[in-house]
Structure 1
Amino acid sequence: MRSMSAPAFLSHYLSRQPHAGLNGSPLRFLQKPGTATVLKVLAAGELVADKLPTTPDRIALPGMTGRLLSGGLVGAAWYKSRHGSALGGGLLGAAVAFASTIVSYALRTGISEKSGVPSALVGAGEDALVLGGGAALLRAQRPAASEWHPM
């Protein structure tokens, strides 16, 4: 639903619980607290920008491209952090981003059209789902003693 939320949540998690699987990887920048902060600011800005009438639909080429890149980055980093294939994770992440973009767009426009609720208000509901879901995922990720390695 939001292109910057997943990278922000993942970087927040990794900056507090670095994973050895990212050591030596170009993706290790996601473990830096400064990266987490920048991504959180970008995610907050996206929450605001999404409500502006001039913001293009998420399925338009620029928005979709951003979501594919974001999903690919998150998938690659998550898989790599677990000593898996960054390429496989990136492809899966991009595919999930594509599917969720299409589905969330259809839901948002459908709810807005059928209920008469302004799209921006439906978007606020999406934001609540994204923030609540991300917070729940962070709480669920407890580091195993063997996974946590300080940088």
Structure 2
Amino acid sequence: MYSSLLLLCFLIGCVAGLRSMMAPAIICATAYVQWIHLEKTPLAFLDTIAALSIFTLFAIGELIVDKLPKTPARTAPVGLIARIITGGLCGAALAMSAGKGVPVGILLGSLGGITGAFVGYNVRHGLVTHMNLPDFVVAVVEDLLAISGGLFVVSKM
């Protein structure tokens, strides 16, 4: 159903909003194991061991760097732009895999990236400042949410 695909494009963008490299790492992994099909599309490169390795290393690095005290907010320009781009890329991948409207997939993935970035930032900030929870603990829970959420999204393809 087309409306569920649109929702999945938005949600994978939300994952990118939480962790910009996790969403493409998940897309690469699911393409590599053939859960989604990108062969003979402009995004076929995501279905390679090289792309899977690179995005996985970037995702692991992001999980580590996110916990450092000097890491800029995800809503800062560079981080936000990365989330818009990776959200759009992942939305496009899901749309291409389903043989549906790629521009809409890009748009919804990008909007999901923006949404995930701001909602994730505000929820984390609120939990740390108003509920006095340790930032590290909240960040790890957010990591787990991004990973499980991304896997949930692609499992519905």
- TM-score normalised over the length of structure 2: 0.81
Change (3 A) 1:61 1:126: same
CA distance in structure 2 between the aligned counterparts of 1:97 and 1:57, rounded to whole angstroms: 14
Q: Indicate the SS of the match to 1:115.
A: coil
CA distance in structure 2 between the aligned counterparts of 1:29 and 1:128, rounded to whole angstroms: 27
CA distance in structure 2 between the aligned counterparts of 1:88 and 1:141, rounded to whole angstroms: 18
1:65 aligns with 2:81: yes
Deviation above 6 Å: which 4+ runs of structure 1?
none
Query: Does structure 2 retain, via aligned residues, the 8 Å contact 1:22–1:77?
Result: no
1:44 aligns with 2:60: yes
Which residue type is aligned with residue 59 of structure 2? A
Larger Rg: 1
- Gaps in structure 2 of 5+ consecutive residues: 1-17
Residue 30 (structure 2) aligns with: 13
- Gaps in structure 1 of 5+ consecutive residues: 143-151
Cα displacement string for residues 107-150 of structure 1 (whole angstroms, at most 9, x for unaligned residues): 00000011212323211110121223334445x357xxxxxxxx
Task: Indicate the RMSD between aligned Cα atoms, in angstroms.
Answer: 1.7
Residue 126 (structure 1) aligns with: 142
How many residues align? The count is: 139
- TM-score normalised over the length of structure 1: 0.84
Change (3 A) 1:50 1:33: same
Q: Percent identity?
A: 35
